[in-house]
C-alpha cells in the first residue's frame, strides 16, 4: 500500500450550504441568522440547516425550532428549496472543475479532488483560486472550507479544523501532530456508540487510536472498515471499494394537514411512483417493497415480495396490499408523522430472471410499455403530465427531491 510523501488530496465542504444558497438568492437574508425548515407554513418543528450567523448564536442543524428561537430570537425561518440547492450544486461543480478536476462528489455540499503533481506544491494557491472563482462567478454568500492532506480521509478531517471559509494543510512531514489535536467526533466512522466502545478498550483520545494496531482496529469495528481507517490515519492512500446500489426509495416528514392515513397514502403513492421512475432510469428491477410509517405511538413497517418489476402498476399493487394490512392493524383514524417507501432486492436489467411459475409475461410487458410511453411524455415536457392514477398536488412541494447525505436528486425527481 502506497504512503504519499506530499499533499495529494483536497476535501471541500460548503459552509451552511442550504442557508447560504438562500442568502445568495435573497439579499434581505444576507448577514442575518437564517434557519431552513422542511416545508412551508406553520407546523415545522425542526431547523434542518442554518447559516453561519445563526451558528454563531449556538443554533445547529437538526435543532428544535423552539430551542433555536430561544437562543437566537431574531432567527429567520425559510422553507427549503431543494431544486435550487441542486442547481447551485451543479453550478459550483462547474466553477471548481475550472480550477481542479473533481475526483468524487461525496454529498450535495462535499467533494474531494486528487491533485496533479504540478498542483501539490502550493495548496494555498489552489484554495485561493477555488474561492475566487466561486466568489466572482456565483457570489460571495456561498463559502467553503478546504482541507489538504496525503489522502481523502485526512483531508476531510483537516477540512473541519478551520470553519467557516478556512483552509487547512496537513503536510505528511508534519503528521501525526495536527491529527492528535482533533476530537473523536472529527474522525469519520467514530460516532457516539463507537466512542463508547473505544473507551471500554482503553482508547480515549485520537492519539490512543493512532497507537493501536490495524488488527485491533479491525476487531473494534468488527469489519475491515476499522483496518482501513488505521491505514488512512497513518497517511496511506486508502480507497474503499465502490458501493453497490441496494435500493431505491423516498421518505417524507408529513405537514400537519397531511397526517391522516388517507392523506399519508396519497403521499406514499407519489413517493413510490418517483422511486419506480428512478428504478427505470437506472435500468434496475426490484423484487421487494418496504413501507414504513412513524405513527403517533409507534413505528409500523412491513415488506412484500414483488415479481421482479419496475412498472408503476406492479409496485402500486404492492403498496395497496401493504396499506390494507396497515389499516387492519391500526385503524383508519391513526395519525402518521413520517412515511417512507423503498424498492429493494434489485436486479440489473440485463440479468433479470423471471419466475418461470408466474405466467404474467404478457401482462407485465403491457404495463412496461405503458410506462415507457408515460416516461417519454413526461421527459418531453419536463414535468408530470401523465401518470398512473390521480396525482394530488397539495403538500407535494419537493416530494421525491429530498437531498440526503448520499444522494443528490436529479432534475427529473422534481417533476
Contacts for 328 with CB less than 8 Å, ≥ 6 apart: none
Contacts for 64 with CB less than 8 Å, ≥ 6 apart: 45, 46, 47
Question: What is the C-alpha separation between 368 and 181, in angstroms, rounded?
Answer: 57
Alpha carbons within 13 A on the beta-carbon side of 376: 6
Question: What is the C-alpha separation between 267 and 252, in angstroms, rounded?
Answer: 8
Residue 53 and residue 269 in contact, taking contact as beta carbons nearer than 8 Å: no
Q: Where are the alpha helices (H) located in 147-223, listed in sequence order?
A: 152-159, 177-180, 192-200, 206-210, 214-221
Please give the grid coordinates belonging to residue 176.
501525526
- CA dihedral (343, 349, 350, 354) positive or negative: positive
CB atoms closer than 10 angstroms to residue 74: 10
Q: Is 317 a catalytic residue?
A: no
Please give the grid coordinates belonging to residue 91.
453550478
Q: Which one from 67, 95, 110, 195 is the annotated catalytic residue?
A: 110
Question: What is the C-alpha separation between 403 and 410, in angstroms, rounded?
Answer: 10
Catalytic residues: 110
Amino acid at each position: 500500500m502506497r504512503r504519499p510523501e506530499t499533499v495529494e488530496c483536497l476535501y471541500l465542504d460548503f459552509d451552511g450550504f442550504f442557508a447560504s444558497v438562500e442568502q445568495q438568492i435573497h439579499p434581505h437574508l444576507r448577514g442575518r441568522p437564517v434557519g431552513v425548515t422542511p416545508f412551508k407554513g406553520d407546523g415545522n418543528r425542526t431547523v434542518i440547516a442554518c447559516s453561519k450567523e445563526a451558528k454563531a448564536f449556538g443554533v445547529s442543524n437538526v435543532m428544535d425550532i423552539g430551542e433555536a428561537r430561544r437562543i437566537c430570537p431574531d432567527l429567520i425561518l425559510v422553507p427549503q428549496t431543494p431544486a435550487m440547492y441542486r442547481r447551485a450544486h451543479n453550478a459550483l461543480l462547474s466553477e471548481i472543475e475550472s480550477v481542479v478536476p473533481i475526483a468524487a462528489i461525496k454529498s450535495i455540499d462535499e467533494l474531494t479532488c486528487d491533485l496533479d503533481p504540478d498542483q501539490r506544491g502550493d495548496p494555498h494557491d489552489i484554495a485561493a483560486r477555488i474561492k475566487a472563482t466561486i466568489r466572482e462567478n456565483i457570489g460571495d454568500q456561498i463559502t467553503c472550507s478546504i482541507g489538504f492532506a496525503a489522502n481523502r480521509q485526512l483531508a476531510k478531517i483537516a477540512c473541519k479544523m478551520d470553519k467557516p471559509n478556512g483552509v487547512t494543510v496537513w503536510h505528511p512531514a508534519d503528521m501525526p501532530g495536527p491529527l492528535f489535536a482533533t476530537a473523536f467526533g472529527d474522525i469519520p466512522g467514530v460516532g457516539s456508540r463507537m466512542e463508547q466502545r473505544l473507551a471500554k478498550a482503553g482508547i480515549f483520545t485520537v492519539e490512543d487510536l493512532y497507537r493501536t494496531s490495524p488488527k485491533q482496529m479491525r476487531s473494534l469495528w468488527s469489519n475491515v472498515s476499522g483496518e482501513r481507517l488505521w491505514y488512512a490515519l497513518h497517511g496511506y492512500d486508502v480507497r474503499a471499494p465502490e458501493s453497490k446500489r441496494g435500493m431505491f426509495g423516498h421518505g417524507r416528514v408529513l405537514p400537519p394537514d397531511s397526517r391522516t392515513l388517507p392523506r399519508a397514502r396519497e403521499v406514499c403513492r407519489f413517493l413510490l411512483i418517483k422511486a419506480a421512475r428512478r428504478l427505470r432510469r437506472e435500468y434496475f428491477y426490484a423484487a421487494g417493497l418496504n413501507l414504513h410509517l412513524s405513527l403517533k405511538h409507534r413505528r409500523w413497517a412491513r415488506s412484500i415480495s414483488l415479481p421482479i418489476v419496475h412498472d408503476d402498476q406492479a409496485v402500486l399493487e404492492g403498496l395497496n396490499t401493504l396499506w390494507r394490512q396497515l389499516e387492519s392493524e391500526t385503524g383508519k383514524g391513526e395519525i402518521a408523522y413520517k412515511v417512507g417507501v423503498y424498492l429493494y432486492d434489485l436486479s440489473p436489467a440485463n440479468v433479470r430472471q423471471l419466475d418461470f411459475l408466474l405466467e404474467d409475461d404478457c401482462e407485465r410487458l403491457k404495463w412496461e410499455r405503458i410506462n415507457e410511453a408515460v416516461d417519454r411524455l413526461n421527459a418531453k415536457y419536463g414535468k408530470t403530465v401523465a401518470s398512473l392514477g390521480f396525482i394530488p398536488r397539495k403538500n407535494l412541494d419537493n416530494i421525491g427531491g429530498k437531498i440526503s447525505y448520499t444522494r443528490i436528486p436529479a432534475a427529473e425527481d422534481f417533476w
